[in-house]
Amino acid sequence: MIVRLLVVGAMALGSLTAVSGAVAADSPGHVTAHAARHHKRHHRRHHHGIPQHNGGDHDADNNGGPSDGDGNT
């Protein structure tokens, strides 16, 4: 029973943490479609994309040259 109570308590704490995390993420007040889109891209780039280094890599498509095959922006 004590174990069961501990498990329930842990689950409740976990839920609260998740909710507060979501609220914290939304709290800055700039949660717009654009921001969400940006975040999605940013997130994707970190995990799978090719870093563009804000054009600092001087490759062709960052300098008005032909577009490369990178599926990210």
Residue-wise DSSP of 7-21:
HHHHHHHHHHHHHHH
Our finding on whether 64 is near another protein (CB under 8 A) is: yes
Angle at 44 between CA 41 and CA 50, to 5 degrees: 95
Our finding on whether 30 is near another protein (CB under 8 A) is: no
* Residues 32-51: x where in contact with another protein by CB under 8 A, - otherwise, as a string: ------------x---xxxx
Distance CA 47, CA 63 (A): 25
Q: How many residues bind another protein (CB under 8 A)?
A: 22
For another protein, the binding residues (CB under 8 A) are 44, 48-52, 57-61, 63-73
